[in-house]
Structure 1
């Protein structure tokens, strides 16, 4: 990641983990075609069953915000969204240091 990219962290609770896992892949494929998309890392909580975290990298904050609006009406994202019972966090981050 370059320092000018944006990281979006989304943490949610899903109602049906197997269905969410299956539909998340389709959602990832859809979002990968959005303008400004760089990457998406999908992880599941080790401690909390049904808690998912998605770390999505965008070229710009504007691209991330636009994608946030687009997923609300994207029929390819809808099956994944339907498995989400609660959104715990959605935040955007910039900068960062690595060692």
Structure 2
């Protein structure tokens, strides 16, 4: 059985990557308690020094949208939001199928 979830993809620029990554860890600790949260994969660009990305998986679009509104007022997110200087991409995508290496 395939369960379709929502992947939130955010690609951002930051001026101080170590500070942004530390603030992101605090934000991750808070968001894992949000309704509908499934997972969060933090990514750091190997090629662009000021770029980071987040892949956050939600049970459904309603949970993703509710979380987007909640982070605006959540004090745990304030340092992370302040560390972000620009957002290149912020979108929600419905998952279709998953291929995994079982070897």
Shorter chain as normaliser: what TM range? over 0.9
Q: What TM-score comes out, normalization by structure 1 length?
A: 0.93
The CA distance in 2 between the partners of 1:34 and 1:97, in whole Å, is 25
SS of equivalent to 2:18 = helix
**Which runs of 5 or more residues in structure 2 are unaligned?**
none
Contact map agreement 1:3 1:94 (CA 8 A) in 2: no
Residue 67 of structure 1 corresponds to which residue in structure 2?
Answer: 67
Larger radius of gyration: 2
The Cα of 1:3 is off from its aligned counterpart by 3.5
Backbone CA RMSD of aligned residues: 1.1
The CA distance in 2 between the partners of 1:81 and 1:16, in whole Å, is 12
Contact map agreement 1:7 1:92 (CA 8 A) in 2: yes
Contact map agreement 1:7 1:94 (CA 8 A) in 2: yes
SS of equivalent to 1:40 = strand
The CA distance in 2 between the partners of 1:8 and 1:95, in whole Å, is 10
The Cα of 1:57 is off from its aligned counterpart by 0.4
The Cα of 1:87 is off from its aligned counterpart by 0.7
The Cα of 1:4 is off from its aligned counterpart by 1.8
The Cα of 1:97 is off from its aligned counterpart by 2.9
The CA distance in 2 between the partners of 1:87 and 1:45, in whole Å, is 14
**Which runs of 5 or more residues in structure 1 are unaligned?**
none
Alignment coverage as a number of residue pairs: 98
